[in-house]
C-alpha cells in the first residue's frame, strides 16, 4: 500500500497528540495516512501494553487512517543503531510515503528526541541502494525509497515551529482520537496514579496550544512542526 503520509510515534498516542489535527485534515482531503508506533508504551505508569494497543486501534478508526503498525521496540531503551534503523527503513520502503511526520526533536520524554533522530536518519538511509532489506516471510528485496520531506511535530515542550498547519474544523476529531486512550488521560473514575499527562490541565493544553498557534497566523486552530531543512513555496500566494 502506497501512502501519502507516514507518521511515526515513539509511543501509541504520540502521533495523535502531536499531529492529530493535521492527520484528520489530510485524510479528509483524500490523502492516505498511516501510523507506525515504535513501542507499545509498556513502561507507562497507567494502563498496559495490551490496553494501549486496543486504544491505538480505536483511535485509528476515529481518524480513519489506512494502516497502523507497531514495531515492538523496547519502551525507554530503544537506540538509534543499525538494527533499529533497518526496521524503520523496512516501513518506509513498504509504504513509500511522500512525507514522514515524527516525534519532537527535543522533549521531556527521552524516547521522543531519540525517536525523532532515529526516524530522520532512517529516512535518509532508506534511499541508499546498497542497503538491502526484506520484509518478514518475503524473499523479494525491497525497492529503495526516500521521502521528500521529514517534519517533526511538537509535544510537551513549547518548541518554536518552523511552520504551522491550519487545522481549523479538525480539533474535535483530534480530541476524540486522543480520548480513545482513556487509560492515559484524565478520568475522574480512574484509581491509577496521576502522571503529567493525566491532569485536566494537560488535556486542556491540547486546545489552548492549538488556539494560540492559530492566533499567531490568523486562524482558529493550528499545529506546529519543525524541519531540519529549508522550506520553499512555489509562489508568494502560497503563504497566508
In a domain, residue 239? The reply is no
225, pLDDT greater than 90? yes
Q: What local confidence, expressed as pLDDT, does residue 136 receive?
A: 84
Contact 100, 6 (CB under 8 A): yes
CATH number of the domain residue 195 falls in: 3.40.50.10320
| Spatial CA neighbour of 152 closest among 34, 55, 25, 14 | 14
pTM metric for this prediction: 0.96
pLDDT top residue among 237 and 69 = 69
Residue 102 maps to a domain: yes
Answer for the pair 225, 165: CB distance below 8 angstroms, yes or no: yes
pLDDT computed for residue 137 by the predictor:
82
CA distance 108 to 97: 28
Say if 145 falls within a structural domain: yes
Work out the angle between the directed axes of helices 171-179 and 49-63 (0-180°, nearest 10).
160
80 domain-assigned: yes
Predicted confidence (pLDDT) per residue in 14-71, tens digit: 999 999 999 999 999 999 999 999 999 999 999 999 999 999 999 999 999 999 999 9
Say if 58 falls within a structural domain: yes
- pLDDT grade, residue 187 (50/70/90)? confident
DSSP 8-state secondary structure symbol assigned to residue 147: -
What is the residue range of 52's domain? 5-234
Report the number of distinct structural domains present in the chain: 1
180 in a structural domain: yes
**Would 148 be classed as within a structural domain?**
yes
pLDDT digits (tens, 9 = 90+) for 127-171: 999 999 999 888 899 999 999 999 999 999 999 999 999 999 999
Q: Assess if residue 240 is contained within a domain.
A: no
Amino acid at each position: 500500500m502506497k501512502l501519502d503520509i507516514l507518521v511515526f510515534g515513539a509511543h501509541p498516542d504520540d502521533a495523535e497528540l502531536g499531529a492529530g489535527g493535521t492527520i484528520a485534515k489530510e485524510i479528509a482531503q483524500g490523502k492516505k495516512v498511516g501510523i507506525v508506533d515504535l513501542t507499545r508504551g509498556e513502561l507507562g505508569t497507567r494502563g498496559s501494553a495490551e490496553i494501549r494497543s486496543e486504544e491505538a486501534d480505536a483511535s485509528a478508526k476515529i481518524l480513519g487512517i489506512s494502516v497502523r503498525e507497531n514495531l515492538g521496540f523496547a519502551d525507554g531503551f530503544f537506540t538509534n543503531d543499525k538494527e533499529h534503523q533497518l526496521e524503520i527503513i523496512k516501513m518506509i520502503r513498504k509504504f513509500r510515503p511522500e512525507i514522514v511526520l515524527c516525534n519532537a526533536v527535543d522533549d521531556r520524554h527521552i524516547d521522543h528526541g531519540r525517536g525523532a533522530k532515529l526516524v530522520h536518519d532512517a529516512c535518509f538511509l532508506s534511499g541508499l541502494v546498497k542497503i538491502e532489506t526484506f520484509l518478514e516471510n518475503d524473499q523479494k528485496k525491497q525497492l529503495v525509497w526516500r521521502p521528500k520531506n521529514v517534519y517533526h511535530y511538537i509535544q510537551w515542550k513549547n518548541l518554536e515551529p518552523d511552520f504551522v498547519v491550519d487545522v481549523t474544523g479538525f480539533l474535535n476529531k483530534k480530541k476524540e482520537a486522543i480520548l480513545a486512550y482513556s487509560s492515559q488521560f484524565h478520568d475522574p473514575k480512574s484509581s491509577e496514579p496521576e502522571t503529567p499527562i493525566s491532569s485536566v490541565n494537560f488535556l486542556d493544553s491540547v486546545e489552548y496550544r492549538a488556539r494560540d498557534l492559530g492566533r499567531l497566523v490568523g486562524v482558529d486552530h493550528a499545529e506546529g512542526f519543525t524541519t531540519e531543512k529549508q522550506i520553499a513555496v512555489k509562489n508568494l500566494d502560497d503563504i497566508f
